[in-house]
Homo-oligomer: A and B are copies of this chain.
């Protein structure tokens, strides 16, 4: 376990990709893998991969061979916290909130949503995907009692700041924010913004470029060449 180092956000975001590939080669019985090989598969610079791996690997990479696969898998899983579950609460049981409640794949990543909260009386009391929906007033009590440190925010933007304040007041240390708004929170509370609209914007810009290029009559074969 080497979790005293802090990775840059960028490095952190590459870790799940390393992990996926390592698990795959591990299944095929590969015991040692070089940063060079990983870099080629994942289309990354090999020095970058080498540095990333050396940051989290408990043993040193061996020249001519590489890094031990099983150890890397363990190290990354440990580093990403997949082995000690983080309990979380979800605030805002709209369509996105329901979506996340129903996504049982989060447990693979060490996340466990224990309860949901909403202000809508029609929703409160319901059980959505096995999780009970409580009125927002009960948030603080439950968080304190269960020592919850993560809040997932899936309320409309106009209510997001208020809900965030409540989460902070309930002792939450990290907010996974799906609302498209910049939240104000004290320094010790991390706000991780999940910006699905931004992703769609990237797609949209690309499609527009593709379409205008096409309408300009640019030779489409230039794409398929090579």
A6 interface contact, C-beta 8 A: yes
A126 interface contact, C-beta 8 A: no
Interface bits A187-218 vs B (CB < 8 Å: 1, else 0)? 11010101111111111111111101000000
A16 interface contact, C-beta 8 A: yes
State which of A46-54, A66-74, A103-111 sits at the interface with chain B: A103-111
- Oligomer: number of copies: 2
Q: Which residues of B contact A21 (CB under 8 A)?
A: 181-182
Q: CB within 8 Å of B: which of A14-34? A: 15-17, 19-21, 24
Chain B nearest CB, measured from A88 CB (Å)? 9
Main secondary structure, interface of A, reads helix
Question: Contacts A17-B180, A149-B207, A224-B186 hold; do A12 and B202 have CB atoms under 8 A apart?
Answer: yes
Q: Which residues of B contact A186 (CB under 8 A)?
A: 223-224
**A80-B197, A99-B100 known; 7 other A-B pairs, CB under 8 Å?**
A9-B202, A16-B198, A86-B207, A95-B102, A95-B104, A102-B102, A192-B202
23 contacts between A and B (CB under 8 A): A6-B209, A12-B198, A13-B201, A15-B201, A17-B182, A79-B201, A86-B203, A86-B204, A95-B104, A99-B103, A106-B200, A109-B200, A109-B201, A111-B200, A149-B207, A174-B203, A174-B207, A176-B200, A186-B224, A188-B224, A190-B203, A190-B206, A192-B199
